[in-house]
Amino acid sequence: MDRVVIESSECKGCRLCVEVCPKHCISIGSEINKLGYQFARFESGDCNACGLCYYVCPEPGAVTVFKETTSQRVPA
């Protein structure tokens, strides 16, 4: 299971999650969402579920991080 789910319809493409991720797991694709933004994509890789992408995202509901053992949203 992916540790991070990005809801493409809620993303405004600000790139904060891309810049903050220490593992380079997130990128911005070329597709456009219904809001007219190129949206972020989670690419798995070495994600350690640190939650930084969740905390930095200004859009409520755009990013969900799942801990490996609990599958709980961060913060619970």
For ligand SF4, the binding residues in 18-47 under the rule CB under 6 A are: 20-23, 25-26, 40, 47
Instruction: Name the residue with tokens 């991720």.
Output: 21
3-state secondary structure of 56: helix
Residue 15 engages ligand SF4 in binding (rule: CB under 6 A) = yes
CB 41 within 8 A of CB 4: no
**Amino acid code (one letter) for 2:** D
CB 26 within 8 A of CB 18: yes
Instruction: Give least dist CB 16 to ligand SF4, A.
Output: 4
Residue 8 engages ligand SF4 in binding (rule: CB under 6 A) = no
Question: Which residues contact ligand SF4 (rule: CB under 6 A)?
Answer: 3-4, 6, 11-17, 20-23, 25-26, 40, 47-53, 56-57, 59, 62-63, 65
